[in-house]
Chains A and B, each alone.
Chain A
């Protein structure tokens, strides 16, 4: 079972939900935490894993052999991302714009281009408590293309473990890359008009991917009228409401997980997991 925890915008409590699920389940089964929010990974702040391995993640970008190049301009013409410019006596490359499609070195008539590795970030792995296998990615500063790093994190999926993905906020390529292929997606939202708008975008993204989903309302005031209307309109169940709680907020500020402040809520997260499983397999 692979569950992605997503939200249309940052700061809704996505990591709080993902970490709480992991900690709640760890009492009874093998759990894996995959932090795919590679621009701002923060699951480790709460799970405090002992990281044992650290590997660079690279993508192929073109390298020019100027002595073979005839400056024909073909590569610049076919690159959809304008990551190459051909001048009279040189080829300029802009690796930060390259999407590694491979078109330029495939089509270069002189074989003057070859793929060279460009480091975009790091994948780190270890264990948080005995039962939670932990993997996260860290995107290098200034790198704009994160999906290959998200892919590298997801590749570490262990079969047989209950896996939880902390997805990047938003609804663009990185979020899609993180959520695709999961069995179920939890959409975390806050009961505010802004929160609702982003929830709608996230719900549409998940629907387009053909993944079943449900809503978690964070900092709920117990009424959440607008979220309830949304839930009815879209036919998406509200699976959990996390009340606005001073102790939880204080724990968060100190880098402590929600379940450290409110251990009695463990049952609620276990129930949440069961509900996800039920809807996913339905």
Chain B
């Protein structure tokens, strides 16, 4: 099973990026093989629809669970329609969030918890 965690950098010790659509990277972890990969978020620099673009990328990569901070309604719609589970891990490091996910300690999210465009800086 593949898990994606929104990250500000390629360093697993950095805290989870609270913005889903606009984070810089996703840590994509193949839990069965403990294989880590950091992919750039295509939504990070997009003009609009960032969350949808980010979600589409994760769907394409076969991700089954997402750990992040806040998700807007459009991204949540894509992730939910794809059957991808959502979890929040505000303030924790990427590594720690992953560990807690494996131990079933993360809070699941059932829908959007951010306004549209909330991840755009300066708003």
Contacts and interface: CB of A to CB of B under 8 A. Distances in A.
Contacts of A92: 77-78, 81
A42 B56 CA distance: 41
A86 B53 CA distance: 10
B60 A85 contact: no
A76 B56 contact: yes
Nearest to A73: B60
A88 interface: yes
Given A76-B56, A87-B59, A82 B48 contact: yes
Contacts of A76: 56
A73 B61 CA distance: 13
B48 A85 contact: no
A129 interface: no
A69 B104 CA distance: 37
A76 B59 CA distance: 12
B91 interface: no
B46 interface: yes
Nearest to B55: A85
A272 to B, nearest CB: 38
Contacts of A81: 47-49
A92 B56 CA distance: 10
**Centre residue among A87, A88, A97 by max chain B CB count within 10 A:** A87
A90 interface: yes
Which secondary structure characterizes the binding site on chain B?
Answer: helix
Contacts of A88: 59, 82
Interface in A75-125: 76, 80-83, 85-88, 90, 92, 94, 97
B50 interface: yes
Given A82-B46, A85-B59, A94 B52 contact: yes
B81 A90 contact: yes
A82 B56 contact: yes
B74 interface: yes
**Centre residue among A85, A87, A94 by max chain B CB count within 10 A:** A85
Contacts of A87: 59, 78, 81-82
Interface string B35-51: 00000000100111110
Contacts of A86: 56, 59
A92 B73 CA distance: 13
Contacts of B53: 82
Interface of B: 43, 46-50, 52-53, 55-56, 59-60, 74, 77-78, 81-82
10 A-B pairs closest in CB distance: A82-B49, A82-B52, A85-B78, A82-B53, A87-B82, A85-B56, A97-B49, A85-B52, A81-B49, A87-B81
Given A81-B49, A83-B49, A97-B74, 11 more contacts: A80-B47, A81-B47, A82-B49, A82-B52, A82-B53, A85-B52, A87-B78, A87-B81, A92-B81, A94-B49, A97-B49
